Chains A and B, each alone.
Chain A
Amino acid sequence: MTTIAGIGFASPWLLLALLALPLLWLLLRAVPPAPRKRLFPAVTLLLGLRDDDSLSDRTPWWLLLLRMLAVAAAIVGLAGPVLNPTTEPSGRGPLLVVLDGSWAGAPNWERTRDEMDRLLAEAGRADRAVALMRLTAPEAPVFQSAASWRRKLAGEAPLPWQPTTEQLATARAQIDAIDTDFDTVWFSDGLDYAEREALISQLAQRGTLIAYEHPQATTALRPVGHVDGMMEISVTSSQAVPSQVVTVLARGPDPGGTMRTLGSVTVDFGDTATIQDNGATATARLALPSELRARIRHFEIQGQRGAGAVALSDDSLRRREVALISSQSGNEGLALLSPLHYLRKALEPTADLLDGALSDLIPANPDVIVLADTARLPPDQESAVIGWVEEGGLLLRFAGPRLAASDTARTEEEPLLPVRLRIGGRSIGGAMSWGEPKTLAPFAETSPFFGLTIPADVTVSSQVVAQPDPQLASRVIAELSDGTPLVTRKSLGDGQIILFHVTANAEWSSLPLSGLFVQMMERLAISSGAKPPAAGDLEGTTWAPLQVLDGFGTLADAAALPGVSGPDLVEKPVGPDLRPGLYQSGERSIARNVLRADELLTPAEWPASVAISRYATAPERPLGGLLISLALLLMCVDVVAALALSGLLLKSGVSRRLSSFFLVATTGAALAVVQVSGAWAQGNAVPIDTQPDDIAPLHASELTLAHVLTGDRQVDAVALDGLRGLSDTLRFRTSVEPAPPASVDLEQDELSLFPLLYWPVTADQPMPSGNAYDKLNAYLRTGGMILFDTRDADITRSGASSPAGRRLQQLALRLDVPPLEPVPNDHVLTRAFYLLQDFPGRHTRGAVWVEAAPADAEQIEGIPFRNLNDGVTPVVIGGNDWAAAWAVDANGRPLLPVGRGFAGERQRELAHRFGVNLVMHVLTGNYKSDQVHVPALLDRLGQ
């Protein structure tokens, strides 16, 4: 490639054509433009006039220049110019491309791949055989043509681990097996790992070694820990850069299931960094409500890709809700004798404890209910607990004197006890019995406690004893050294019931005093460890991967990956056999992240003999397309300019169309240029966050009337104006002072802020979605009122036969509307504020329907109305077009005519009174109805 003035040319000989430009100049100048024919009646005056100059009008110099530029741009464009051409001399012989391919390279993966592509292209031009070797997944290098490697390049992705020692050993063996000498290019991710130096020296012996490395530091997120009820987030970086600030986001699903950022924290290396071994670690703390904390799925460093920038969360973040219930809760016993004292101490740091009566706690749906020494539950509570367990609850029961003394589960199995019990239990090694207190037998392999070490001082002196049963063996998960069951478990529905055959306090055994008790609670997923589990804690468990991370930090289903043993999960570095991700065993889950809590990132160091190449700052950029586009654009401009010169532009209709066509063509060409040069604009598009202003607080702080948007703009405007008129009336006449009314979109807006919704029904308004119906039904159930107005009482009386009426029927089909009746004379609507007999709006004849009075409503002696239903009617349906009667313009004058003359004004007044009564009814309920009882109440009070 020939380079002229910093720009390389693929076919420089084409540039010779530029020499022809002066010739073109002369040629273009010599040829006059074609004559135009014009009608001109005053030609008589022209006759005989001679031209001064025998030459015709020359093409103007700027147009000539334009054409020259266009031709020159085309010529140069065709010559294949390349900006920043690669001029490095390329070597000869086979080339081995070594690639770390770990998660640390993920943030710069695109550039790495582009650079590899460039390198391979260059090797292809030099006709070198190339082999590619990924150290994170080494395969025997095969030297092929560069083109075939380039095709495979697009499928390469970083893997979520660093090259392990075994993999490096494999790689070295494979490199040894290559029999020719070769040059090596090593794309490093910038992190050091074991055995790397050996590989470097091995490669350096075989040929030149060039290393590519990004200058940026690699940052990664460590597993999130807990300190003082807050989450401690630590970020480690391979280089200590005090100015570095990263933002860590806590992500998880919102109640709707969409992944959202639940919290964020800024980690500043300038403030909190501790610098070790050339790297640095900075920490920050994040406090979130436990509800939010339980939802967190993972933490991530904002704006950084890669598995290292993601820290998955597991059970350890979750605080379980444990309800503690003891039959002695009312007794004033000593604290240390309380059956729940030790449980409370064991669970307090890691779980949220709930106290109270069982009937109050079950609706709170705790994760665990602990029943200490409770023999039998009342039947209704028992069924409630069974239902709760079947839906996934964990019922943990402890034995005690009461259970031992009761006759529960003697002859047949109780649903809430895993086994049948013998009467009385037994005591061992007490003052009145022979034998020694029993110790625990080692846990069986099937037990969830398998692997826990049993302290020697744990003894059991009393217990309740299970009756032998066929299923007993399968239900025992811990037993005493003599084989009697100590802990039994059975499943019930989705949940399970666990019985400790000893008390929860130290009365019957020393188990609650030991650390084993806490570990057992953890194994049963009752408490979650505040500290990450140690290898010893997980001894004997096998963990199945649930979801695993890929190199970019994206979670994917684990599919058929094999399980991992507990200690390996905690101790081994991640690799192909232990991928970072979420692992599950039984009820518990553990997240394995790329970094362990104490792991550091060490930057890679290269011996002086290795040339380190940074990535090219300005990649090769062919300019040909750009220049040819420029030539096209100039030609389009030339067309327009030539037309303008000859007066054809914007003179007659045809040329106007022509010129607009050319303008479009020019714009199109310009756009094409923009696209061609799109490579120039590599800035990230910033997503514009257009969150609407939240007006809910405004509506919540003031009483606001609202209407439902129908989609008919005129109806909506009248409805809003009507509510404004009604609001004004209310403010002038009553102590209700509403805020300016609001328009409500059923699909999006919160309804619960509005006491009254005015819903004008149009014949063609769209049906609300199911979601909107849910909101509407909730609104009606919780005391909201909807005033449906079909606005057609002038043409129909019942409202059912008109189009709007039919639409209303369709709309209301899915609403929880109670049975209706026309407003009876003694309805509270007739006297909530004004005494009214009818309810005119803009029309007078329409019937108004409200919730029907119950059948047993009776007239009270001496009072002119019945004792009607207690609640407020959830819907009022009519067709009198009230909003039109209420509507006022900006100056407070009535917007629309009502009736004729004074009678019309009276009708409008009555419409306003109906509105006032309606709002009063909504706000005060049956207060007016109850007022009739005041004399009787006063009488009864003796006043």
Chain B
Amino acid sequence: MSSPPASGVTDPQDASPLTAGELRHQSEVAASHLPPLLVEAQHLAGSVLLGEHGRRRAGMGDDFWQYRPVQLGDSRRMIDHRRSAKGDQQFVREREWQIAQTVHLWVDQGASMRYASDKALPRKIDRARLLGLATSILMLRGGERVGLTGGMLPPRRGNAQVMRLAEHLSQDQATDYTPPEDRAMMPHARVLFISDFLGPFDPIQQALAKAADRGVQGVLLQVLDPAEEEFPFHGRTIFHSVAGGLSHETLKAGALRQRYLDRLAERRDALDHLCRTAGWRLGQHHTGDSAQTALMWLYHAMERNNA
């Protein structure tokens, strides 16, 4: 078996993917550094189930929220006698309103993700899987229901889901650039898309449009290799994609650099614009950076109230 991706030993061509067990182990390690992530539930929707999410407002739930004086219309059964016996005034004990959120996850499994420019770097796909699963674990611990888009793995609660997620995430796809899976998203759920977003732009646009239609909000995390960010090539070169479907020959790679970087920035701007119109958030991550940083960003992004 290959070594764990965190130490980044896999070669783009000959690396065998992580087993589900290994992937889970790695993710647990990465997730253990953060407090359980409590995803903000922004919307009350039909998919809302009772859970441990304190909504910071009074409602149905188990945890104490506040005592308030008895108002007109409160039934006598609601009076908290232990508190009320301390004085003359009568109080009602309110509980926090707790709900669970549904989170959908999509990690690009395409061939373009199976790339690392250096032996010391992890492949993009490994980093993407790691981040996806780590976020899932955090959310599952927080009591959320996490699943994959596309109906292959419906959102469920509990630790057993981690194993199932890990299993589904470790399946490679042969095609070069896979479009985001936008089917079977529950309305008003949260969605996390992790990919390099280097493929055709239209499917991404469609997926986000579809999600917006359903009231789904979420995060796009673009994972890139440092080489893709810097284009450190010179001389006569033939570039080809990982699966070999696309290729481009140039005589002076160095001269292409600026134009490539422009195009990359253009792509990023387009993604950013797309996200802003849909109320999503766009994140950037390079495989050369620490996975912890990306997870922290994801934590904040998922927690943030975008409403």
Q: Which of A46-54, A121-129, A405-413 contacts the other chain?
A: A46-54
The reply to whether A43 and B267 contact each other, CB–CB distance below 8 Å, is: no
Which residues 654-684 of A have a CB within 8 angstroms of B?
none
Q: In whole angstroms, how far apart are the Cα atoms of A55 and B260 in the complex? A: 20
A41-B115, A41-B196 given; A33·B235 CB < 8 A: yes
Please give me the residue from chain B that is nearest to A45 by CB atom: B263
The reply to whether A52 and B239 contact each other, CB–CB distance below 8 Å, is: no
Q: Which of B18-26, B207-215, B251-259 contacts the other chain?
A: B251-259
Task: Assess whether A4 is interfacial by the CB under 8 Å rule.
Answer: no
The reply to whether B251 and A38 contact each other, CB–CB distance below 8 Å, is: no
The reply to whether A44 and B255 contact each other, CB–CB distance below 8 Å, is: no
A41-B196, A53-B255 given; A35·B238 CB < 8 A: yes
Residues 791-828 of chain A: 1 if any B CB is under 8 Å from the residue's CB, otherwise 0?
Answer: 00000000000000000000000000000000000000
Task: Assess whether A108 is interfacial by the CB under 8 Å rule.
Answer: no
Which residues 210-239 of B have a CB within 8 angstroms of A?
224-225, 227-228, 233-239
The reply to whether A51 and B250 contact each other, CB–CB distance below 8 Å, is: yes
Task: Assess whether A936 is interfacial by the CB under 8 Å rule.
Answer: no
A503 to chain B, nearest CB (A): 106
The reply to whether A38 and B242 contact each other, CB–CB distance below 8 Å, is: no
The reply to whether B241 and A41 contact each other, CB–CB distance below 8 Å, is: yes
Residues 293-305 of chain B: 1 if any A CB is under 8 Å from the residue's CB, otherwise 0?
Answer: 0000000000000
Chain B CB within 10 A, most for which of A40, A45, A56: A40
The reply to whether A52 and B198 contact each other, CB–CB distance below 8 Å, is: no
The reply to whether B239 and A652 contact each other, CB–CB distance below 8 Å, is: no
Task: Assess whether B248 is interfacial by the CB under 8 Å rule.
Answer: yes
Contact among B239, B251, B252, B259 with A43 in the assembled complex (CB-CB below 8 Å): B239
The reply to whether B260 and A38 contact each other, CB–CB distance below 8 Å, is: no
Task: Assess whether A559 is interfacial by the CB under 8 Å rule.
Answer: no
Which residues 6-55 of B have a CB within 8 angstroms of A?
12
Q: In whole angstroms, how far apart are the Cα atoms of A51 and B250 in the complex? A: 6
Task: Assess whether A890 is interfacial by the CB under 8 Å rule.
Answer: no
A42-B260, A42-B264, A51-B250 given; A35·B242 CB < 8 A: no
The reply to whether A51 and B240 contact each other, CB–CB distance below 8 Å, is: no
Contact among A33, A34, A653 with B119 in the assembled complex (CB-CB below 8 Å): A653
Contact among A34, A39, A46, A55 with B115 in the assembled complex (CB-CB below 8 Å): A39
Task: Assess whether A36 is interfacial by the CB under 8 Å rule.
Answer: yes
Q: In whole angstroms, how far apart are the Cα atoms of A647 and B234 in the complex? A: 8
Neighbouring B residues of A47 by C-beta, 8 Å: 246, 248
Q: In whole angstroms, how far apart are the Cα atoms of A34 and B251 in the complex? A: 10
The reply to whether A53 and B251 contact each other, CB–CB distance below 8 Å, is: yes
The reply to whether B250 and A43 contact each other, CB–CB distance below 8 Å, is: no
The reply to whether B250 and A49 contact each other, CB–CB distance below 8 Å, is: yes
The reply to whether B255 and A51 contact each other, CB–CB distance below 8 Å, is: yes
A38-B238, A41-B198, A652-B119 given; A49·B248 CB < 8 A: yes
Which residues 43-79 of A have a CB within 8 angstroms of B?
43-47, 49, 51-57
The reply to whether A41 and B238 contact each other, CB–CB distance below 8 Å, is: no
The reply to whether B240 and A40 contact each other, CB–CB distance below 8 Å, is: yes
The reply to whether B236 and A56 contact each other, CB–CB distance below 8 Å, is: yes
Neighbouring A residues of B251 by C-beta, 8 Å: 32, 51, 53-57
A42-B228, A43-B248, A51-B251 given; A36·B119 CB < 8 A: no
Task: Assess whether A777 is interfacial by the CB under 8 Å rule.
Answer: no
Q: In whole angstroms, how far apart are the Cα atoms of A39 and B259 in the complex? A: 19
Q: In whole angstroms, how far apart are the Cα atoms of A56 and B264 in the complex? A: 24
**A-B residue pair count with CB separations less than 8 angstroms:** 112
The reply to whether A49 and B242 contact each other, CB–CB distance below 8 Å, is: no
Task: Assess whether B154 is interfacial by the CB under 8 Å rule.
Answer: no
Q: In whole angstroms, how far apart are the Cα atoms of A32 and B253 in the complex? A: 13
The reply to whether B236 and A32 contact each other, CB–CB distance below 8 Å, is: yes
Task: Assess whether A614 is interfacial by the CB under 8 Å rule.
Answer: no
The reply to whether B198 and A45 contact each other, CB–CB distance below 8 Å, is: yes
Task: Assess whether B271 is interfacial by the CB under 8 Å rule.
Answer: no
Which residues 116-170 of B have a CB within 8 angstroms of A?
119, 124
Report how many residues on chain A are interfacial, defined by Cβ distance under 8 Å.
29
Which residues 878-918 of A have a CB within 8 angstroms of B?
none
Residues 639-654 of chain A: 1 if any B CB is under 8 Å from the residue's CB, otherwise 0?
Answer: 0000001110000110
The reply to whether A35 and B237 contact each other, CB–CB distance below 8 Å, is: yes
Task: Assess whether A37 is interfacial by the CB under 8 Å rule.
Answer: yes
A35-B249, A44-B246, A45-B263 given; A647·B233 CB < 8 A: yes
Task: Assess whether B109 is interfacial by the CB under 8 Å rule.
Answer: no
Neighbouring B residues of A51 by C-beta, 8 Å: 250-252, 255-256
Neighbouring B residues of A52 by C-beta, 8 Å: 252, 255
Neighbouring B residues of A54 by C-beta, 8 Å: 251
Q: In whole angstroms, how far apart are the Cα atoms of A433 and B12 in the complex? A: 133
A41 to chain B, nearest CB (A): 4
Task: Assess whether B71 is interfacial by the CB under 8 Å rule.
Answer: no
Q: In whole angstroms, how far apart are the Cα atoms of A38 and B248 in the complex? A: 10
Task: Assess whether B199 is interfacial by the CB under 8 Å rule.
Answer: yes
A44-B177, A45-B198, A652-B119 given; A39·B237 CB < 8 A: no
A65 to chain B, nearest CB (A): 19
B185 to chain A, nearest CB (A): 26
Please give me the residue from chain A that is nearest to B252 by CB atom: A57
Contact among A44, A49, A645, A653 with B241 in the assembled complex (CB-CB below 8 Å): A44
Neighbouring B residues of A32 by C-beta, 8 Å: 236, 251
Q: In whole angstroms, how far apart are the Cα atoms of A652 and B234 in the complex? A: 16
Please give me the residue from chain B that is nearest to A46 by CB atom: B248
B23 to chain A, nearest CB (A): 21
The reply to whether A49 and B259 contact each other, CB–CB distance below 8 Å, is: yes
A63 to chain B, nearest CB (A): 12
Contact among B200, B233, B235, B242 with A41 in the assembled complex (CB-CB below 8 Å): B242
Q: In whole angstroms, how far apart are the Cα atoms of A34 and B249 in the complex? A: 12
A56-B251, A646-B235 given; A39·B240 CB < 8 A: yes
Q: In whole angstroms, how far apart are the Cα atoms of A34 and B115 in the complex? A: 24
A55 to chain B, nearest CB (A): 7
A42-B228, A49-B259 given; A645·B235 CB < 8 A: yes
B159 to chain A, nearest CB (A): 34
Q: In whole angstroms, how far apart are the Cα atoms of A462 and B217 in the complex? A: 147
Q: In whole angstroms, how far apart are the Cα atoms of A33 and B242 in the complex? A: 24
Contact among A41, A49, A55, A652 with B228 in the assembled complex (CB-CB below 8 Å): A41
Q: In whole angstroms, how far apart are the Cα atoms of A921 and B246 in the complex? A: 94
Neighbouring A residues of B228 by C-beta, 8 Å: 40-42
A48 to chain B, nearest CB (A): 8
Neighbouring B residues of A41 by C-beta, 8 Å: 112-113, 115, 124, 176, 196, 198, 225, 228, 241-242
The reply to whether B237 and A44 contact each other, CB–CB distance below 8 Å, is: no
Please give me the residue from chain B that is nearest to A651 by CB atom: B118
B288 to chain A, nearest CB (A): 15
Task: Assess whether B247 is interfacial by the CB under 8 Å rule.
Answer: yes
A35-B237, A41-B242, A44-B198 given; A56·B115 CB < 8 A: no
Neighbouring B residues of A43 by C-beta, 8 Å: 239-241, 246-248
Contact among A39, A46, A647 with B235 in the assembled complex (CB-CB below 8 Å): A647
B236 to chain A, nearest CB (A): 4
Q: In whole angstroms, how far apart are the Cα atoms of A52 and B119 in the complex? A: 33
Q: In whole angstroms, how far apart are the Cα atoms of A866 and B119 in the complex? A: 83
Contact among A38, A44, A55 with B199 in the assembled complex (CB-CB below 8 Å): A44
A32-B251, A45-B198, A53-B252 given; A38·B236 CB < 8 A: no
User: Interface residues, chain B, CB within 8 Å of chain A?
Assistant: 12, 112-113, 115, 119, 124, 176-177, 196, 198-200, 224-225, 227-228, 233-242, 246-252, 254-256, 259-260, 263-264, 267
Given contacts A40-B227, A41-B112, 13 further A-B contacts (CB under 8 A): A32-B236, A38-B239, A39-B240, A40-B241, A41-B241, A42-B196, A42-B224, A49-B260, A51-B256, A52-B255, A53-B252, A57-B251, A57-B252
A-B pairs, 8 with minimum CB distance: A56-B251, A41-B112, A40-B239, A35-B236, A45-B263, A42-B228, A46-B248, A43-B239
Can you name 17 A-B residue pairings with CB atoms under 8 Å? A33-B236, A35-B237, A38-B238, A38-B239, A38-B240, A39-B12, A39-B239, A39-B241, A40-B241, A42-B196, A43-B240, A43-B247, A44-B246, A46-B250, A51-B251, A57-B235, A57-B251
User: Interface residues, chain A, CB within 8 Å of chain B?
Assistant: 32-47, 49, 51-57, 645-647, 652-653
